[in-house]
């Protein structure tokens, strides 16, 4: 049995990948409800409670940690959440596949980030991520748990429309006309990870015997692209080229942050979108054979998903 902590876009992408493999899956979230097939068990509970996590993980072969607190509660909640799920893996002997982002690397220094890049976090959230990664790797090295760390860059794709820089602020204007709005400078090269590739990568890392005990970058398109190039491609696929694009500078985020804690916490991460930010995933392709979905196909599927959701009257659930 495979246990997924989280039923957001990444949790559901992981569920999709596991079901394609014929695996039995249980999902944990706060409500006990999720947009999943009837034969998928959804358990309600507090993932920051170690006792609950141990109980719900009994019988699991692999545990996937894809939960993330609200941006403004990272420092207060994230370490305890991970510790509880790690305790469940330790108690049950399940392999723990933990999804991370790439904040711990800090600023781009001229070469794409690899799994061996030094950690130079200069933001609060980057420091939290680095400390949490050290905790997981230490648990594995000490023999307390079997751990795999997977890292993705900023994601896009089906079900992620409300949270992605290539989400509803781009897809809506591409389909219906108007100006796309993105973070930072759209002319900077930036790596984006396709959501179904995250799910496929996590499922593969949960099964591959050579995956444990190390960090893997999940598959990304190997060709660098700017945000503008990807937005242009989406507008072209929607039949509305050329695109109109407006970047969001820091002062606008700071102003929005007076009323929105999520926007306030985004300010320190804006460097990712005002400077080059590239992530190399050749290691997972070379060693495990995992490749990113061809970019045009990924963009077409993202646009089609958003169009279907609009026809149904809503954007897919988080």
Instruction: Give the pLDDT score at 317.
Output: 35
Residue 239's pLDDT is what? Answer: 92
165-189 mean pLDDT: 93
Q: Band of the pLDDT at 257, cuts 50, 70, 90? A: low
| pLDDT higher than threshold 60 for residue 311 | no
pLDDT, tens only, 41-56: 999 999 999 999 999 9
pLDDT band at 314 (very low <50, low <70, confident <90, very high): very low
pLDDT of residue 152: 97
Q: Considering the chain, what percentage of its residues have pLDDT values greater than 90?
A: 81
DSSP-assigned letters across all residues of the chain: -EEEE--SHHHHHHHHHHHHTT--EEEEESSS--S--TTSEEEE--TT-HHHHHHHHTT-SEEEE-----GGGHHHHHHHHHHHHHHHHHHH--EEEEEE-SGGG-S--SS-B-TTPPP---SHHHHHHHHHHHHHHHHHHTTS-EEEEEE--EEESTT-TTT-TTSHHHHHHHHH-S-EEEES-TTSBB-EEEHHHHHHHHHHHHH-TT-TTSEEEPP--SS--BHHHHHHHHHHHTT-PSP-EEEE-HHHHHHHHTT-HHHHHHGGGTHHHHS-B-B--HHHHHHH---PPPHHHHHHHHHHHHHHHHHHTSPPP-
Mean pLDDT, rounded, for 5-34: 95
Instruction: Evaluate if residue 138 carries a pLDDT over 50.
Output: yes
Tell me the per-residue pLDDT of 141-171, one tens digit each, with 9 for 90 and over. Answer: 999 999 999 999 999 999 987 789 999 999 9
């Amino acid at each position: 049995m495979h246990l997924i902590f989280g039923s957001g876009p990444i949790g559901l992408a992981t569920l999709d990948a596991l079901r394609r493999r014929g695996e039995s899956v249980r999902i944990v979230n706060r409500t006990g409800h999720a947009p999943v097939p009837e034969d998928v068990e959804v358990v309600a509970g507090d993932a920051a409670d170690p006792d609950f996590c141990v109980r719900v993980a009994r019988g699991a072969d692999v545990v996937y940690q894809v939960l993330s607190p609200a941006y403004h509660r990272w420092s207060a909640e994230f370490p305890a959440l991970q510790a509880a799920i790690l305790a469940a893996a330790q108690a049950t002997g399940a392999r723990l596949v933990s999804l991370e982002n790439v904040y711990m690397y800090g600023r781009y220094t001229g070469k794409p980030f690899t799994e061996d890049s030094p950690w130079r976090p200069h933001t609060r959230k980057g420091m939290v991520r680095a400390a949490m990664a050290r905790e997981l790797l230490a648990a594995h090295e000490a023999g307390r748990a079997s751990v795999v760390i997977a890292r993705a860059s900023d994601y896009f794709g089906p079900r992620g429309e409300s949270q992605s820089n290539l989400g509803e602020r781009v897809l809506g204007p591409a389909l219906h006309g108007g100006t796309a709005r993105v973070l930072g400078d759209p002319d900077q090269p930036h790596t984006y990870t396709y959501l179904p590739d995250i799910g496929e990568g996590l499922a593969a890392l949960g099964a591959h015997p050579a995956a444990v005990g190390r960090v893997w970058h999940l598959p990304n398109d190997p060709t660098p692209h700017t945000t503008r190039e990807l937005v242009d491609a989406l507008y072209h696929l929607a039949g509305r080229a050329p695109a109109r694009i407006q970047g969001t500078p820091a002062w606008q985020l700071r102003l929005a942050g007076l009323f929105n804690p999520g926007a306030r916490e985004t300010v320190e991460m804006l460097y990712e979108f005002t400077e080059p930010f590239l992530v190399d995933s050749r290691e997972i392709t070379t060693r495990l054979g995992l490749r990113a979905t061809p970019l045009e196909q990924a963009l077409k599927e993202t646009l089609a998903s958003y169009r279907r959701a609009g026809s149904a009257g809503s954007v897919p659930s988080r």
